[in-house]
Amino acid sequence: MGAALAFVVARYIAANWIAGHAGPRVLRIIDGVANEGWRFVAFTRLVPIFPYAPLNYFFGVSRIPFRHFILATVICMAPSSIAYSWLGHIGMEAASGRGDWVKFALLGLAALALIIFLPRVIKYFRK
């Protein structure tokens, strides 16, 4: 919901102001996002090093359709959300001293490693 709200605010309230103050380099990036569409959103969501909040506004300023943005966001943020929730569960189990938290920790780390290497795997299979 927060991503959608930031996108809408950027698209309908701040787009003209941002476009007027953006330099040529930012405008080239915005055009690149428009050309790549949902693939650019998917990449930034699958690689968890990009901060989501500024990206939501950035995508709102670009010409990517809202439908493509929201679908790519929901689908591609799911793996990292699951991995982070799982790691939080493992932390709770370890802190409370109950359960087989070592097994869960290894599964959580495997899921996190999958998220980190997923873009490379996708690129490999696309070739």
pLDDT at 99: 66
Pull the structure tokens for residue 6.
């930031």
Backbone angles phi, psi at 45, to 5 degrees: -80, -35
pLDDT at 5: 92
Q: How far apart are CA 52 and CA 73, in angstroms?
A: 10
Residue 8: partners with Cβ closer than 8 Å, 6 or more residues away: 60, 66
pLDDT at 115: 75
Helices 66-96/101-126 angle, 10° precision: 150
pLDDT at 100: 72
pTM of the model: 0.65
pLDDT at 102: 74
pLDDT at 70: 93
pLDDT tens per residue across span 23-38? 777 777 777 777 778 8
pLDDT tens per residue across span 63-119? 889 999 999 999 988 887 887 887 788 778 777 877 676 777 777 778 778 777 877
What b/e string do you get for 42-75 counting C-beta neighbours within 10 Å, with b at 16 or more? bbbbbebeeeeeebbbbbbbbebeeebbbebbee
- Residues comprising the chain, all counted: 127
